[in-house]
Amino acid sequence: MTHDCSFLDNLDLDGDISWSQSDRENHAGDFGTSKTDEVEPDAVVFAESTTDVSRVVAAANDRGVPVTPYAAGTGLEANATPIEGGISLDTTQMDSIVEIGPNDLQIEVEAGVIGDDVNEALERYGLFFPPLPSSGSISTIGGMIATDASGQQTVKYGEVADWVLELTVVLADGSVINVGSKAAKTSSGYNIKELLIGSEGTLGIITRATLQLAGRPEQIKGGRAVFPTLTDATEAISDAITAGVDVAKIELIDDQTAVLANDYSDTELPEKPMIFLEFHADHGIDEEIDFCRSIFNAHEMEHLTIASGAEMERLWQARKDITYAAESFDPDLGLGPPGDVTVPIGRYPEMIAAVKTVAEEYDLFVPCFGHAGDGNLHYLVLADYDDTEEAARALEAYAELIKRALDLDGTITGEHGIGVGKRKFMELEHGETAVELMRAIKQTIDPKGILNPGKIVPLTSGSDDETDAKLI
């Protein structure tokens, strides 16, 4: 679908407008969009300010031209792919740190600031923004907020959403509002801020944010624990969390993922389930580690290595390399869509067991790993996606695991959002009435459907299946 975007040239913008093939190609998809599913926008605008965003959106709305916000493009569900063409609104030039308020434990940033840059700027104050996702070194604060992202430290510090105090947002008609408050809490009016968080640019475009901060911990230690079986490892995690172990990261990889890691890094890690740990404390960190160790020992833990600094980072390497390891494992095997189910922590052992059962039933290699402390599990169904039969079988296995997660009172996505990829599961999780309510809200806030159309709950429900068939 192409749209006449020549009106852009008449807008008085601080930022650049690009019609170049390379810029359009670079904005045709994100990490979660395969080459064949990419859609080039008709134009790319590199916005420099809230005013730029407002002017572009207002003019596009007048003409019914789609505007899809684009940040770092690290989304995994085609969240930023302009599937109906139109304008890709790139926010990465809006990368200023507006103000640091150490006395208020706050930082105000433009939406395009990279996560790690926030923490670098805060270092001299002894502060940090705790809930960065694993992609924090490349993804933007605005993108994280729009996706309702979270990460390895969520088990201790919560999600990105929990640290967002207030936002500047451009609505579909170009009007600009502030939502939330710089106060640490508020019960003033409808919670529009939370409605916009995780709405993936479909209800408004985030241009600025004030974030809450925390003091950096005085003590950091971490390492790796090895378990004989996956059941032991998952039950150890579940027990540690319910016992209240104060852990800052607790990540699981299964034995199959350990195989990938050894293959990738030419290491000789035990090819067994492993738990990666990190502890943060101002005092008493060793007591907390001992508390954790005693629980793990009750679940047949074979080995625990704890360190700090560079040695700790080395122990974590296998966890950090997972995506690259999976990608490079076998050139004939694709990764398929990334699983991101999340279940209540007591059900985590059952969820992991389901992965193994399904892998066996469907005769596929399904390594899994994830933010275990939150009950969040990533799985990859490795298959030859060029083989029609195998691809169909792999996608069926992928969907079966989503259904199993829902049966365990879980959610279809813990931190990646819906985008295009998970739309087809929305009704399964939320029911028809709740999805209709979401659609009504979208219709009210963006009546012409110009903001990132086709994502989460498309305005025309009939189109879902067709588009999904194309895009997955």
Among 113, 233, 241, 326, binds its own copies (CB under 8 A): 241
Q: How far apart are CA 50 and CA 170, in angstroms?
A: 7
Residue 282 CB, shortest distance to its own copies, in Å, is: 7
CA atoms within 13 A on the CB side of 396: 11
Q: Identify the residue whose tokens are 């993108």.
A: 143
Contact between 251 and 237 (Cβ < 8 Å): no
Instruction: Work out whether the CA dihedral 333, 32, 396, 319 comes out positive or negative.
Output: positive
Residue 221 CB, shortest distance to its own copies, in Å, is: 16
Size of the site for its own copies (CB under 8 A): 89
Is residue 232 involved in binding its own copies (CB under 8 A)?
no
Is residue 30 involved in binding its own copies (CB under 8 A)?
no
Is residue 246 involved in binding its own copies (CB under 8 A)?
yes
In the bound state with its own copies, the residue whose beta carbon lies nearer, of 224 and 371, is 371
Residue 34 CB, shortest distance to its own copies, in Å, is: 21
Q: Identify the residue whose tokens are 């979660």.
A: 32
In the bound state with its own copies, the residue whose beta carbon lies nearer, of 134 and 411, is 411
In the bound state with its own copies, the residue whose beta carbon lies nearer, of 63 and 283, is 283
Is residue 198 involved in binding its own copies (CB under 8 A)?
yes
> Which range, of 46-54, 243-251, 265-273, 464-472, touches its own copies by CB under 8 A?
243-251
Neighbour-count burial for 256-294, b at 16+ CB within 10 Å, e otherwise = bbbbbbbebeeeebeebbbbbbbbbbeeebeebbebbbe
Residue 60 CB, shortest distance to its own copies, in Å, is: 18
Residue 175 CB, shortest distance to its own copies, in Å, is: 5
Of 381, 316, 366, 368, the closest CA to residue 342 belongs to 368
Is residue 58 involved in binding its own copies (CB under 8 A)?
no
Residues in the chain: 472
Is residue 374 involved in binding its own copies (CB under 8 A)?
yes
Residue 31 CB, shortest distance to its own copies, in Å, is: 16
**How open is the CA angle 394-398-399, to the nearest 5 degrees?**
120
Instruction: Work out whether the CA dihedral 350, 323, 272, 290 comes out positive or negative.
Output: negative
Residue 345 CB, shortest distance to its own copies, in Å, is: 6
Fill in the DSSP letter of residue 446.
Answer: S
Residue 107 CB, shortest distance to its own copies, in Å, is: 12
* Residues between 155 and 174 with contacts to its own copies, criterion CB under 8 A: 158-159, 162, 171
CA-CA-CA-CA torsion for 382, 383, 386, 390, nearest 10 degrees?
Answer: -150
Number of helices followed by number of strands (H, E) in the chain: 16, 18
Among 50, 413, 452, 467, binds its own copies (CB under 8 A): 413
Is residue 154 involved in binding its own copies (CB under 8 A)?
yes
Contact between 157 and 130 (Cβ < 8 Å): yes
Is residue 417 involved in binding its own copies (CB under 8 A)?
yes
SS3 content of the chain, % helix, strand, coil (to 5): 40, 20, 40
Residue 235 CB, shortest distance to its own copies, in Å, is: 10
Is residue 346 involved in binding its own copies (CB under 8 A)?
yes
> Which range, of 48-56, 220-228, 352-360, 408-416, touches its own copies by CB under 8 A?
408-416
> Which range, of 262-270, 326-334, 343-351, 389-397, touches its own copies by CB under 8 A?
343-351
* Residues between 173 and 192 with contacts to its own copies, criterion CB under 8 A: 175-179, 181-192
Read off φ and ψ for residue 235, nearest 5 degrees: -70, -35
Is residue 444 involved in binding its own copies (CB under 8 A)?
yes
* Residues between 319 and 338 with contacts to its own copies, criterion CB under 8 A: none
Residue 76 CB, shortest distance to its own copies, in Å, is: 11
Q: How far apart are CA 66 and CA 59, in angstroms?
A: 11
Is residue 121 involved in binding its own copies (CB under 8 A)?
no
* Residues between 375 and 404 with contacts to its own copies, criterion CB under 8 A: 375-376
Among 2, 10, 103, 388, binds its own copies (CB under 8 A): 103
Contact between 408 and 359 (Cβ < 8 Å): no
Contact between 112 and 142 (Cβ < 8 Å): yes
Is residue 283 involved in binding its own copies (CB under 8 A)?
yes
- Which residues make Cβ contacts (< 8 Å) with residue 279, sequence separation at least 6? 219, 220, 221, 222, 246, 247, 248, 285, 288, 289, 292
Fill in the DSSP letter of residue 36.
Answer: G
In the bound state with its own copies, the residue whose beta carbon lies nearer, of 283 and 470, is 283
Among 90, 390, 415, 446, binds its own copies (CB under 8 A): 415
